[in-house]
Amino acid sequence: MKTLLRCPCGEEIRGADEDELVDKAQAHLAAQHPGREYEREMILFMAT
């Protein structure tokens, strides 16, 4: 299960599970990187 994503901006995004990680990553993108959107599969591909 992947629960950590390191954004190129330096932010570390952690979730208790993959669903929470994806939700938090999408919220981070919307707040910090408007216009950049990634689907669940891409977020999990980049996560560890």
% helix, strand, coil for the chain, step of 5: 45, 10, 40
User: Using one digit for the tens of pLDDT, what is the confidence trace for 14-46?
Assistant: 999 999 999 999 999 999 999 999 999 999 999
The whole-number pLDDT of residue 38 equals 96
- Beta strand ranges found along the chain (DSSP E): 4-6, 12-14
Residue type, 18: E
Q: What's this model's pTM, rounded to 2 decimal places?
A: 0.93
Q: Who contacts 13 (Cβ-Cβ below 8 Å, separation ≥6)?
A: 4, 5, 6, 7, 21, 24, 25, 28
Per-domain boundaries in the chain = 4-46
